[in-house]
Chain A
Amino acid sequence: MSNVASILRGNIRQYGMIIALAAIVILFQITTNGVLLKPINVSNLVVQNAQILILAIGMVIVIVARHIDLSVGSVAAFVGAVGAILMTKHDVPWFLAVVLCLALGALIGAWHGFWVAYVGIPAFIVTLSSMLLFRGLTLVVLEGATVGGLPDGFKKIGNGFLPEVGPDTDLHNLTLILGVAVVALLIFFDFRKRQASKRYNFEVLPFPMFALKQIVLGIVIMEFSYLLADARGLPIVGLILFALIGMYTFIMSRTVFGRHVYAIGGNVDAATMSGVNTRRVDFLVMTNMGFLAGLAGLVTTARLTAANPKAGVNFELDAIAASFIGGAAVTGGVGTVIGAIIGGLVMGVLNNGMSLNSIGIDWQQAIKGLVLLLAVAFDVWNKKRTAGTGGAGAEAEPTPPPPDELVEEIAHLEAEPPGVR
């Protein structure tokens, strides 16, 4: 079973964070006498943390591309404010206002992208400027006041739930069906990936471990769906969030663009010399962050049912912390969307659990600060520990024979000379 150990060691960061999240959940489940995982509280957890998790998705991509975005809180507030003004003062239909606001967010992101990618100013400076700029503009747009009276359709984005279908079962049917579908899809994809890895002779978890992983994952997702279904069903922000997680995971892991983001984060010079249009990638990464900040602003405004000059303060710090807790590297090139989501959930559950335990906001801040440091310290320690296994002199073992299934495929390719296909 040394195989299991080595795989666990290789992914200790990933598994470590999941285990930490589970430990925190169990801890608060006990200290709150079961309130934490009450259906209504789980539903609230999703709704309250959605905007940070949306930002974390964009932020981890920015961080992988070796940048940072400090402006997302201010941009979210500004876009939310513009949306509220459009809907209340100018009678723009809410769905049109949403489209305009998302475009505005992307435009602000493009502004950052222009300065970062084409002028060459560090993102830290550009977005620090925007943090001040858009906080100021938010106050200007709102004239310092809170603007409410938003259309009901718009507020649903923040507070609404999926409609119910089918027979009356006391539970939200559609939510349960979605849960089953997600579990089935995840198992299907993971199984396919495992089969492919085996074909290519990569290390894989032994089957019992693999099965255990699927069962645990399935139970967790079904329990989660059940809890949501027992409350009010899947919140609309939850649906948006899960769609974004799926979409951005796909972009980052399967597309050429995602490859390019990891390439420039890992070694920008090597990426340039490999023909990657690094400026364009930087530009798009910053633009995307603006777009997601705009979306987070809309979600926040809808949830609070008003645009508020103070909305989104410190959002950027939560999103950055979520990315780093979730395993992103400060130097770029490392990080995943799922990791950032788990990091965000760690922060979210900490907030929620401590609030339920009547721990004041003062101590909450202090504890979250320490958690961030410990998570990254663990990462650094783990890297140092595993660094010894590679390094100079550690010559690789001889090439093992290729997997049988591939022999034929490779054999006919080998008939051709190396450079030509």
Chain B
Amino acid sequence: MAQPILEMRSITKRFPGVLALSDVNLAVERGEIHAICGENGAGKSTLMKVLSGVHPHGTYDGEIVYEGQPVAFSNIRQSESAGIVIIHQELALIPDLSIAENIFLGNETATRGVINWDAANSRAIELMARVGLRENPLTPVKNLGIGKQQLVEIAKALSKEVRLLILDEPTAALNDDDSNHLLDLLKGLKGKGITSIMISHKLNEIARISDSITILRDGRTIETLDVTAGGVDEDRIIRGMVGRSLEHRFPDHTPQIGEVLLEVDDWTVMHPDDHHRVVIDNASLTVRRGEIVGIAGLMGAGRTELARSIFGRSYGSRHSGELRLAGRDLKLKTVHEAIRAGIAYVSEDRKGLGLNLLDDVKTSITSAGLDRLRKGLTVDEREEVVVAERYRRSFGIKATSVADGVRKLSGGNQQKVVLSKWLYTEPQLLILDEPTRGIDVGAKFEIYGIVQSLAREGKGVLVISSELPELLGLCDRIYTLAEGVITHEFAKSDATQESLMRYMTAERDN
């Protein structure tokens, strides 16, 4: 048997007060796609940071053997020159620079500091061809979709003569087409001798493309599964991650559906900058009390735009159409009015739009419903703690106290804080945009439970998600959205992944 390209032996990494990795072992064979799975906080990212030198040699215990040699990287530059390149979840591209400029950023082909742009651009075209990106290398990266930006990142890695490519949640922000393209590309690179390590929460993708899977739990290696030997499916992976088999990945729930709560009629919204570009085209939908309604659409279909335009016109221009909540006509112009009317919107962009990362748990929870804490001129800080403590306990937010900073919390706990924040505004209608993105399986299950209990209380819930199994498991009714048009409405019993996908990709008639 060939020698593995990478072996990490007995890696232990401590942060003050926390044991992040404890005696972790990882062996990656040459030319395979090796997936690393685990719940949030299991130590996946920390392990990769140890490998790439973000946590320099000496700050951890254990040994790393790469290409048969023990290595001790003290920064990313050293690991990159050894051929180990890490692509982070948040892309590190500069929006206003061109594709070629981004590919060679920090690695410019220059003679005495002067860049030969002709050589660089032709080299860029070569690299772009290898990742299947057909664009002008002079195009600014901001003009590309997120899927193509991901390809630019990989081209950038290839330009560094990568031998071991590490991808952290590469498909988290991609739609299915782009994801498939990316996964195919990884397989192609594997054929050319490039080994990949992939961290992902999308278990179906992992089961599909990886050759072996190492599962981490609570900073420890649980097992390494050989996928090529067969018998490894999503349920098998989940069993390893959570240490138990989740028979139903959704909590039991009997819907109690009441009268119509939200009615949207002929809703049309233009692009905020280009007032003639139609983003949402004549959309009509309803949500009843106690009902969980899904919106399925590919990235760019206008899902978030639809939700935000309903939420106090926080997206778009020249809105037309009608909006009724509990039979009352709404003419919302600001987010504040929307909140007062009883609408809450939980953004897909937790760190950008959901939280002020400088805040602590309690001020985050009350930040949208602060009006309710007004006591004369002041904020009632005593009541604030009681409120925050109530949510911390009922949702099981893991924090030492409600005075903890939200920056320190894991993604799942941050999401619970954001949910608490919106529930405190006492909404009748709750719009959840990708409520479980980047969250581990256990926390997902808890969030589904919260959503269902809200529906049972008689609230209307509108869920936007890229994960079709999530919509199928959670929703009572699902709308499909394609290019800003609502293309179909499915009852829960009629919907399958295939039928949804057919209407999500529907072409416009004209």
Q: Show the binding face of A for B, using Cβ within 8 Å.
A: 196, 200-203, 250, 254-256, 259-260, 262-263, 266-267, 269-277, 333-334, 388-400, 402, 406, 409-410, 413-414, 417-421
In the complex, the answer to whether B386 meets A410 with C-beta atoms within 8 Å is yes
* Minimum Cβ distance to chain A for residue B89 (Å): 11
In the complex, the answer to whether B394 meets A414 with C-beta atoms within 8 Å is yes
* Minimum Cβ distance to chain B for residue A11 (Å): 13
In the complex, the answer to whether A396 meets B356 with C-beta atoms within 8 Å is no
In the complex, the answer to whether A393 meets B453 with C-beta atoms within 8 Å is no
* Minimum Cβ distance to chain B for residue A260 (Å): 8
In the complex, the answer to whether A275 meets B357 with C-beta atoms within 8 Å is no
Could you list 17 A-B pairs, sorted by A, with CB under 8 Å?
Answer: A201-B401, A256-B374, A271-B356, A273-B345, A273-B354, A388-B15, A389-B16, A390-B405, A392-B45, A392-B49, A393-B15, A393-B45, A395-B41, A402-B393, A413-B390, A419-B423, A419-B454
In the complex, the answer to whether A274 meets B368 with C-beta atoms within 8 Å is yes
Interface centre among B13, B389, B423 (most CB of A within 10 A): B389
B17 interface hit (Cβ, 8 Å): yes
Q: Show the binding face of B for A, using Cβ within 8 Å.
A: 13, 15-18, 20-21, 41, 43, 45-46, 49, 219, 311-312, 314, 334-336, 338-339, 345, 347, 352-359, 363, 367-368, 370-371, 373-374, 377-379, 381-382, 385-386, 389-405, 407-410, 413, 421, 423, 426-427, 450, 453-454, 457, 459
Contacts A273-B347, A393-B20, A419-B427 given; 7 further ones with Cβ under 8 A?
A: A255-B379, A256-B379, A275-B336, A409-B386, A418-B395, A418-B423, A419-B454
With A396-B408, A397-B400, A414-B393 known as contacts, the answer to whether A277 contacts B314 (CB < 8 A) is no
In the complex, the answer to whether A200 meets B402 with C-beta atoms within 8 Å is yes
With A270-B352, A270-B356 known as contacts, the answer to whether A259 contacts B41 (CB < 8 A) is no
* Minimum Cβ distance to chain B for residue A331 (Å): 9
In the complex, the answer to whether B403 meets A392 with C-beta atoms within 8 Å is no
For the complex, give the distance between the alpha carbons of A152 and B373 in Å: 47
For the complex, give the distance between the alpha carbons of A254 and B381 in Å: 8
For the complex, give the distance between the alpha carbons of A62 and B382 in Å: 28
For the complex, give the distance between the alpha carbons of A276 and B395 in Å: 26
In the complex, the answer to whether A263 meets B396 with C-beta atoms within 8 Å is no
With A271-B356, A274-B367, A414-B390 known as contacts, the answer to whether A391 contacts B15 (CB < 8 A) is yes
Residue of A259, A333, A399, A420 touching B398 (CB-CB under 8 A) = A399
With A274-B368, A394-B18, A410-B390 known as contacts, the answer to whether A266 contacts B359 (CB < 8 A) is yes
In the complex, the answer to whether B401 meets A202 with C-beta atoms within 8 Å is yes
For the complex, give the distance between the alpha carbons of A270 and B334 in Å: 14
Interface centre among B219, B356, B397, B457 (most CB of A within 10 A): B356
With A274-B368, A275-B335 known as contacts, the answer to whether A394 contacts B15 (CB < 8 A) is yes
Which B residues lie within 8 Å of A410 (CB)?
386, 389-390, 393
In the complex, the answer to whether B398 meets A400 with C-beta atoms within 8 Å is no
Residue of A259, A267, A397 touching B357 (CB-CB under 8 A) = A267
In the complex, the answer to whether A400 meets B400 with C-beta atoms within 8 Å is yes
In the complex, the answer to whether B45 meets A200 with C-beta atoms within 8 Å is no
Which B residues lie within 8 Å of A393 (CB)?
13, 15, 18, 20-21, 41, 43, 45-46, 219
In the complex, the answer to whether B385 meets A200 with C-beta atoms within 8 Å is yes
For the complex, give the distance between the alpha carbons of A275 and B366 in Å: 12
* Minimum Cβ distance to chain B for residue A390 (Å): 4
For the complex, give the distance between the alpha carbons of A409 and B383 in Å: 10
For the complex, give the distance between the alpha carbons of A394 and B18 in Å: 6
- Top 4 nearest A-B pairs (CB, nearest first) are A266-B356, A393-B46, A393-B20, A395-B41
For the complex, give the distance between the alpha carbons of A381 and B378 in Å: 35
For A406, give the chain B residue with the smallest CB separation. Answer: B389
* Minimum Cβ distance to chain A for residue B58 (Å): 14
For the complex, give the distance between the alpha carbons of A255 and B403 in Å: 18
Which A residues lie within 8 Å of B393 (CB)?
399, 402, 410, 414
Which B residues lie within 8 Å of A276 (CB)?
336
For A419, give the chain B residue with the smallest CB separation. Answer: B423
In the complex, the answer to whether B368 meets A396 with C-beta atoms within 8 Å is no
Interface centre among B345, B373, B378 (most CB of A within 10 A): B378
Interface centre among A271, A273, A333, A400 (most CB of B within 10 A): A273
Interface centre among A250, A270, A420 (most CB of B within 10 A): A270
With A267-B356, A270-B352, A270-B353 known as contacts, the answer to whether A254 contacts B41 (CB < 8 A) is no
In the complex, the answer to whether A396 meets B409 with C-beta atoms within 8 Å is yes
For the complex, give the distance between the alpha carbons of A413 and B396 in Å: 15
Residue of A200, A201, A266, A392 touching B358 (CB-CB under 8 A) = A266
Which A residues lie within 8 Å of B370 (CB)?
256, 259-260
In the complex, the answer to whether B335 meets A274 with C-beta atoms within 8 Å is yes
Which A residues lie within 8 Å of B373 (CB)?
256
Which A residues lie within 8 Å of B397 (CB)?
399
Which B residues lie within 8 Å of A255 (CB)?
377-379
* Minimum Cβ distance to chain A for residue B143 (Å): 22
In the complex, the answer to whether A267 meets B389 with C-beta atoms within 8 Å is no
Which B residues lie within 8 Å of A421 (CB)?
426
Which B residues lie within 8 Å of A392 (CB)?
45-46, 49
For A395, give the chain B residue with the smallest CB separation. Answer: B41
For B368, give the chain A residue with the smallest CB separation. Answer: A274
For the complex, give the distance between the alpha carbons of A420 and B367 in Å: 17
In the complex, the answer to whether A418 meets B421 with C-beta atoms within 8 Å is no
For the complex, give the distance between the alpha carbons of A276 and B421 in Å: 14
In the complex, the answer to whether A266 meets B389 with C-beta atoms within 8 Å is no
For the complex, give the distance between the alpha carbons of A372 and B450 in Å: 50
For the complex, give the distance between the alpha carbons of A229 and B317 in Å: 64
For A418, give the chain B residue with the smallest CB separation. Answer: B394
For B420, give the chain A residue with the smallest CB separation. Answer: A418
For the complex, give the distance between the alpha carbons of A394 and B409 in Å: 8
Which B residues lie within 8 Å of A269 (CB)?
352-353
Which B residues lie within 8 Å of A263 (CB)?
356, 359, 367
Which B residues lie within 8 Å of A391 (CB)?
15, 408
Residue of B13, B16, B396 touching A399 (CB-CB under 8 A) = B396
In the complex, the answer to whether A200 meets B457 with C-beta atoms within 8 Å is no
Which B residues lie within 8 Å of A275 (CB)?
312, 334-336, 338-339, 368
